[in-house]
């Protein structure tokens, strides 16, 4: 029987100390977390491993010669040395498109916060400001209507497409920059250059993968091309945005608000410039994490493993 090791099950099932979300996984050793130095020892002679963020390097593969399958508990698979896996004949799978609606939901929540300032007003009420008000209401946080605004969406994969549909539903103008625009037009969506997107958007929402081309995409030069008072949403990857440049833009007022679910390093460093910058909304990489989304993720990962065991692998990376 195939023996399986789950290296970091806690993030997918934090509510259940017994990792009940993995109930369909047989003959498995499930660890909450695994340090880099313990990875090879924990895999040992197992033939299959599931990992979310624990790196499976060439050195780990060499130390675990029985390893034949790596299932990544995510869509991105940069935690695996793919070339080394190919050389050793190890099958690697991922879980595509499991979090599309959850991530868009989170991005839209950030968009609406940036326009309506719900959390800021909640805090002002609870600090006694409304009690002390001479009028029936007060509005000392700037608010804007979403309708009629222009949103620039960077990246047009599953999440970018769903974000465009959501924005159209909010009566926004939609600009999209992608390296692979569709052959046929999309009603309500204009495909533009990055420069046109930066200069023409009231809101910019990032949904692109992290590559050498997109690393630092939103930095000093890009921010200088944006409208004054732009709002920026990042549910892609932290390093797509230069944190120092963004912090400077927030302090100068060039960027009205930066709302992000991802940081350049995770957890962030205590001295990360964005943690002390004004006008930020930062959530701890949770856009993917509604319970239903995590159940879907693990369900597909287990199905991937079972399909491989039965000789019909699916969602194969290599």
Instruction: Report the alpha-carbon angle 284-290-291, nearest 5.
Output: 125
What angle do helix axes 118-126 and 100-116 make, rounded to 10 degrees?
60
- Residue 58: enclosing H or E segment and its boundaries? helix 58-63
What's the CA gap between 116 and 143, in Å, rounded? 5
In this structure, are residues 293 and 269 in contact, taking their beta carbons and an 8 Å threshold?
no
Q: List the one residue out of 38, 25, 34 whose CA is nearest residue 7.
A: 34
Catalytic residues: 237, 266, 285
| β-sheet bridge partners, residue 250 | none
Rg from Cα positions in the chain: 22
Place of tokens 């979090």: 99
């Amino acid at each position: 029987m195939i023996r399986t090791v789950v290296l970091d099950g806690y993030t997918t099932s934090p509510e259940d100390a017994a990792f009940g979300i993995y109930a369909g996984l047989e003959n498995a050793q499930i660890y909450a977390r695994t340090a880099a130095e313990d990875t090879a020892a924990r895999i040992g002679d197992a033939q299959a491993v599931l990992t979310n963020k624990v790196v499976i390097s060439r050195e780990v593969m060499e130390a675990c010669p029985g390893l034949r399958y790596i299932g990544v508990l995510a869509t991105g698979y940069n935690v695996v040395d793919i070339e080394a896996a190919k050389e050793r004949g190890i099958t690697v799978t991922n879980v595509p498109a499991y979090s599309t609606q959850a991530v868009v939901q989170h991005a839209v929540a950030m968009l609406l916060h940036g326009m309506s300032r719900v959390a800021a007003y909640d805090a002002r009420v609870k600090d006694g400001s409304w009690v002390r008000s001479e009028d029936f209401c007060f509005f000392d946080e700037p608010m804007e209507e979403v309708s009629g605004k222009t949103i620039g969406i960077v990246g047009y994969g599953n999440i970018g497409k769903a974000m465009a549909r959501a924005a159209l539903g909010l009566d926004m103008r939609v600009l999209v920059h992608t390296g692979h625009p569709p052959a046929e037009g999309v009603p309500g969506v204009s495909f533009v250059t990055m420069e046109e997107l930066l200069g023409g958007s009231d809101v910019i929402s990032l949904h692109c993968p992290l590559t050498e081309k997109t690393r630092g995409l939103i930095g000093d030069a890009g921010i200088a091309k944006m409208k004054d008072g732009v709002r920026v949403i990042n549910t892609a990857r932290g390093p797509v945005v230069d944190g120092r440049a963004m912090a400077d833009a927030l302090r100068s007022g060039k960027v009205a608000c930066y709302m992000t679910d991802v940081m350049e390093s995770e957890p962030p460093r205590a001295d990360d410039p964005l943690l002390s910058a004004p006008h930020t909304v930062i959530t701890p990489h949770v856009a993917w994490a509604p319970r239903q989304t995590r159940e879907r993720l693990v369900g597909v990962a287990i199905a991937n493993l079972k399909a491989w065991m039965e000789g019909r692998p699916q969602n194969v990376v290599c």
